[in-house]
Amino acid sequence: MIAGDIVAAAAGVAVGSVIGAAHVLFRFALDTKTPWSIPNRPPQPDAVQSPIRDADDIAESEAWFDAAKQPVTITSDDGLRLHGWLLDPDCAAPRPHLYAICCHGYTGEPREMAKWAHHYARLGFTVLVPALRAHELSEGRYIGMGWLEHADLLRWIALIVESDGDARILLHGNSMGAATVMMTAGDARLPRNVTAAVCDCGYSSTMRQFIDTAMTMFRLPRPLAALMVRAASRVCARSAGYRFEDASCTRALRHATIPMLFIHGGADVFVSPAALNANYAACASIHRERLLVPGATHTMSASTAPDLYWRKVNRFVTQAFHL
């Protein structure tokens, strides 16, 4: 009897510990109102640095972004005021009805997409760079790992289509922005105006990404990390209105039909390069391409090998839009 009580007590302690850890994980990763959460910490430099071979391009693009940006807002389906920046084409002959939407990553901001926005603007696109919910000037408390954000992206797309019924739209996302784009591409509500998408360093699913991160950050064995993440998913469902299982890029991509380009850095230690092949294999689009950039860390492919990167992107965009 005593032995049974001890086992029951130990099991209770173990369950309580997992539940407690799940609450901590949720607050730490996704709650922007928690002072000690990742979104409220200063940016940490990557442990592995890849070469930056486009410093001049970055500086020029950021100066252009700061000077040219125009504010725009929408209201999300759940009543949040979302903010973004609109940028006119930066070329002598702008192309009519062409738009690009560039989505930043987890804990990022629109300005980090200046290089991509400027590149598309120089191709003749009008560019929209939204601040994802709970980032920069956009309202919201919880980060949605691409799931909540993909509904917001559909609203941004609708804003463009409502103002220009002939719009042809390119979606580009980095990291969590790439996950947002992938989940949007696979949504049945996607307007036909969306012509193609570029996804740079996107993860395959939030469950897998959090399990991998928990294993690395907290030095947990995979079974324990998976148990904690599944419990944190339930906490997230009650607090933020979605489960981690909802935010699956591979599941969404099974319904994608637009041309898709997947890019990943070969030295990415934050999102495993294995996600590149997983997302590519899951994508149902007839026109899908991929690029692995050796030596590039997370979202650094364009800086590590700018010629290779932009040659691939330019060819993809030119073909998809028949430019």
- Contact (CB, 8 A) for 287 and 320: yes
The distance of Cα 289 from the centroid of its chain, to the nearest Å, equals 18
Nearest to 175 by CA among 151, 152, 146: 146
pLDDT tens-digit map of 303-321: 999 999 999 999 999 999 9
| pLDDT, mean of residues 225-237 | 96
pLDDT band at residue 52 using 50, 70 and 90 as cut-offs: very high
Q: What architecture is the 52-205+247-321 domain classified under in CATH?
A: 3-Layer(aba) Sandwich (3.40)
CB 183 within 8 A of CB 256: no
Is the model's pLDDT at 15 over the cut of 90? no
* CA 247 to each of CA 128, 144, 145, 171, 183: distance values in angstroms, whole numbers, following the listed order: 24, 8, 7, 18, 8
β-sheet with 98-103: strand ranges across: 70-75, 81-87, 126-130, 98-103, 168-174, 194-200, 260-265, 288-293
Q: E strands along 237-309, which residues? A: 260-265, 288-293
Question: Average of pLDDT values for 83-88?
Answer: 98
pLDDT at 242 over 50: yes
* Nearest by Cα to 144 from 248, 294, 288: 248
Residue type, 241: G
Q: How far apart are CA 68 and CA 85, in angstroms?
A: 9
Contact 145, 179 (CB under 8 A): yes
Residue 13, pLDDT above cutoff 50: no
Say what the pLDDT of residue 44 is: 65
Query: How far is it, in rounded angstroms, from Cα 57 to Cα 31?
Result: 34
- Report helix angle 147-163 to 176-185, nearest 10: 60
3 state SS of 17: helix
Band the pLDDT of 47: cuts 50, 70, 90. Answer: low
State residue 43's pLDDT score: 72
Q: What is the pLDDT of residue 45?
A: 63
Q: What 3-state class would DSSP assign to 99?
A: strand
pTM value is 0.93
pLDDT in tens, 173-206: 999 999 999 999 999 999 999 999 999 999 999 9
Q: Compute the distance between CA of residue 271 and CA of residue 276 in angstroms, rounded to an integer.
A: 10
Tell me the per-residue pLDDT of 253-304, one tens digit each, with 9 for 90 and over.
Answer: 999 999 999 999 999 999 999 999 999 999 999 999 999 999 999 999 999 9
Q: Is the pLDDT of residue 73 over 80?
A: yes
Domain positions in the chain are 1-38+210-246, 52-205+247-321
What mean pLDDT value characterizes the chain?
A: 92
